[in-house]
Chain A
């Protein structure tokens, strides 16, 4: 009887000691615009799983006067408000809740324009910011119909109707679909502004998934990856920066060329990855898996398709197939990710592009780009998080997100698996392309530094990596055993 007691005592004690060490070594920091701090070349921050690393490959960054860290608009926000190093260059709900308490909701991250459920709501109330505080979601107001670069309306293949509007924004006479400037508000997570050489690589003239021309960089004329943002609406880091400053920061004047170049230069040299696990210790170790840690991200070539036999998406984990419990679990998780087959079905832009439905493959079939696990081709996919019936909301009646009814025109191709009428909480790429086939398709996200930036999915519906794994298990009937789930979670948490 005494031994189990001692074992439990030992484990609890170890957790407390290790946690205290991490707390002492890595203070959680919220960088405010204009704070003038200097970011070290390599920084490390506490996360629920251990330590996330942030590498400034070009050396220490002085933030004073730097446009990424300086408010350029009227609401006091800078890029850093939503892209905090502490949270893997994104922002987590735990960090946002802490910030709400610390500032009594006055931090610019809670700006009425998009840091609240709708600008017309009473801003002092926590409930007016519930989607940001509970799910990490910012409001993304998008013009409807979508517009071409010259401002002319794009042709659209469907009509859209607001079925449920819990935030009030889509039916608002001022901000909604029937306002003077018809707008659809969707709610999405900010993506990490890091590891971006991988995100922007791989531009090809013709998008494999649509058979149409890829967008081009307006400055260079070269085709772009179309993997930026949830809906690929901005072609380059420069246009994205301008759009974010004019929108999220509510600037009246566009930033200067020099400011844009500074922002892009900063974003292009910052790398984020998990560096240590609270029990497993350092992850980027000599002789260990070559893909772990921030320096691996800095040094690896971008735009490389994983090879399942010799050079997998995140490198080989064979060195960890030993007796160490945590490392062996991560290695098994890597094998599940690469080799555990299941029936991938009804996923638009995967099954529908000539691969067949269903498709007996693995996680890495779609998450195929080395080092980040995005899709190497333009990566918008309807994996089912946004569209009924596989969506992540409990029901249309209790959804925290707006619900839209999409009705495809008779002469348009329907959604490949849901037909001509689709209920969705976020039409995704379709709000940009105007195409029925794109309803619910969201650009795949990179899988690095995950432990620091919960919740997950573009709609913040998975609070933990466990919930991510559970979603896929349910969605694709993977029949994962509990041990397999734990292994996958450990693997994802190590990235």
Chain B
């Protein structure tokens, strides 16, 4: 009973720190790279800085609202906003011309160090040094790969593209007997209690797209399925349910 009480308390605390909202993004110029911010209930939140297509954070876009799903992180404000971590950003598709705020640089509102300069660079954003990641242990046995998506989107971002490529390489290396592709769509519970549900047909479209890519990469014996019913949301882990899973069986 006590354990259950602690669980409930923990959930309430976590939800209290969770910020799920839709807003126009705000771009704050700095001496280096711009910061991306968003306001919710009178408070400003720091989302991230301009980086690289290979980075984990893909900034929002003016002319579009952004769905922010993040947890208040400890530590000082960054670029004038409260940092959120972990954080998921989804650019909503419809154009909204009201989203146009670009603020000038101001003393004291600095961006965190940027890992790359202004032009093209062979450097990668992950560590800024150009050093290669250490090799990972080779995969064995049945493996599940999860392809993440932004809300209401079937675009395969760079990181997702890497997941599919890795899954394909693995399936081909072991001569997989079965590759099961499962597409999902999900629900996001906003902090104001409203629910946002991804559009009908998206689960199937995601799964079909991944299947097409896997086939193009030379993977055979693919079984494709999709769950059209949206995954329920809980307001905490909703981004993780917008996905396609690829299960590779030897």
On whether the beta carbons of A354 and B119 are closer than 8 Å, the reply is no
Of listed B34, B118, B156, B160, residue having the most chain A CB within 10 A: B118
CB distance from B119 to the nearest CB of A (A): 3
Q: Does A174 contact B (CB under 8 A)?
A: no
Q: Which of A316-324, A344-352, A464-472 contacts B (4 or more CB under 8 A)?
A: A344-352
> Given A354-B58, A358-B102, A414-B94, is A206 in contact with B53 using a C-beta cutoff of 8 Å?
no
Interface band, chain B: 35 or more
Q: Are A206 and B27 in contact (CB under 8 A)?
A: no
Indicate whether A312 reaches chain B with its CB closer than 8 angstroms: yes
B interface, over-half SS: loop
Q: How far is the CA of A358 from the CA of B50 in the complex (A)?
A: 9
Residues of A within 8 A of B154 (CB): 211
B61: interface (CB < 8 Å): yes
Q: Are B122 and A305 in contact (CB under 8 A)?
A: yes
A244 vs chain B, min Cβ distance (A): 27
CB of B40 within 8 A of chain A?
no
A307 and B123 contacting across the interface, CB-CB below 8 Å:
yes
Nearest-neighbor residue (CB-CB) of A352 within chain B: B61
| A-contacting residues, B42-75, CB 8 Å | 50, 52-53, 58-64
Known: A356-B36, A357-B61. A206 touches B161 (CB 8 A): yes
| Minimum Cβ distance to chain B for residue A62 (Å) | 40
**Bound form: Cα–Cα A376–B120 in Å:** 10
Q: B132-161: which residues lie under 8 A (CB-CB) from chain A?
A: 154-158, 160-161
Tell me whether A358 and B120 are in contact in the complex, defined as CB-CB below 8 angstroms, given that A205-B165, A206-B161, A206-B213 are known contacts: no
Using A211-B156, A346-B63, A356-B60 as known contacts, say yes or no to A308 and B121 having CB atoms under 8 A apart.
Answer: yes
Interface flag for A355 (CB, 8 Å)? yes
A 337-380 to B, binary, CB cutoff 8 A, 1 in contact else 0: 01101010110000111111111111011001000000010000
Chain B 174-216 near chain A by CB (<8 Å), digits 1 or 0? 0000000000000000000000000101000000010011001
Docked pose: A345 CA to B122 CA in angstroms: 23
Chain B residues lying within 8 Å of A311, measured Cβ to Cβ, are 122
Contact of B50 among A213, A309, A356 (CB under 8 A): A356
Q: Which chain A residue has the least Cβ–Cβ distance from B199?
A: A411
Asked if B165 and A365 sit within 8 Å, CB to CB, the answer is: no
User: Could you tell me if B33 and A360 are in contact, using CB atoms closer than 8 angstroms?
Assistant: yes
Chain B residue nearest to A361 (CB atoms) is: B118
Which 6 interchain pairs have the tightest Cβ spacing? A211-B156, A356-B59, A308-B119, A357-B61, A368-B120, A354-B58
Residues of chain B touching chain A, judged by Cβ–Cβ distance below 8 Å, are 27, 29, 33-34, 36, 50, 52-53, 58-64, 93-95, 102, 117-123, 154-158, 160-161, 164-165, 199, 201, 209, 212-213, 216-217
